[in-house]
Amino acid sequence: MRGRPQPLLLPNLGFCALFLYAMSVQFDDPDSIRWISIYAAAALATQLWGRAFFGTLFAALVGATAAIWAAALYASLPRWPSRAEIFTTRPMTGDEVEVTREALGLTIVAVWMSLLVILALRRRSRSRPNASALP
């Protein structure tokens, strides 16, 4: 926990729990290994964040992977399902609903990883001495 800004600690733990939950509901999916992998990587990235440069680099890699994958899924949609279709608990009414839900999950991963990377880089730039202040 040392080195991480305290205001972000609880939200980061919350997203870690969310990613672990998302991972746990993938076990019955026919293509579960890739979904389990991305959500496990996102959960791990939340815990590595703030611990040396590797944590930031790992979060950037996970976020970029999720963003590219989500973009590919969004591009493959023949139609955008209605909000009711996406957010109801009844069985999915078509492949578009499943793909949209998958893409939204990846978007959440990409956005959170991006925020972690941006905050880590800002924090790192603030901790460096100002080169222009040197004589």
132 within domain boundaries = no
29: tokens are 């999916």
Could you give phi then psi for residue 93, rounded to 5 degrees? -95, 5
Residue 94 falls inside a structural domain: yes
Whether residue 1 lies inside any domain: the answer is no
**Number of domains forming the structure of the chain:** 1
Domain ranges, residue 118: 6-126
Q: How far apart are CA 96 and CA 121, in angstroms?
A: 37
> What pLDDT digit, counting tens, does each position of 1-23 carry?
455 546 678 899 999 999 999 99
- Average model confidence (pLDDT) across the chain: 86
Count Cβ atoms below 10 Å from residue 59 Cβ, excluding itself.
27
Contact criterion met (CB below 8 Å) for 134 and 83: no
Single pTM value for the model: 0.83
Asked if the structure places residue 19 within a domain, the reply is yes
Residue 133 is assigned to a structural domain of this protein:
no
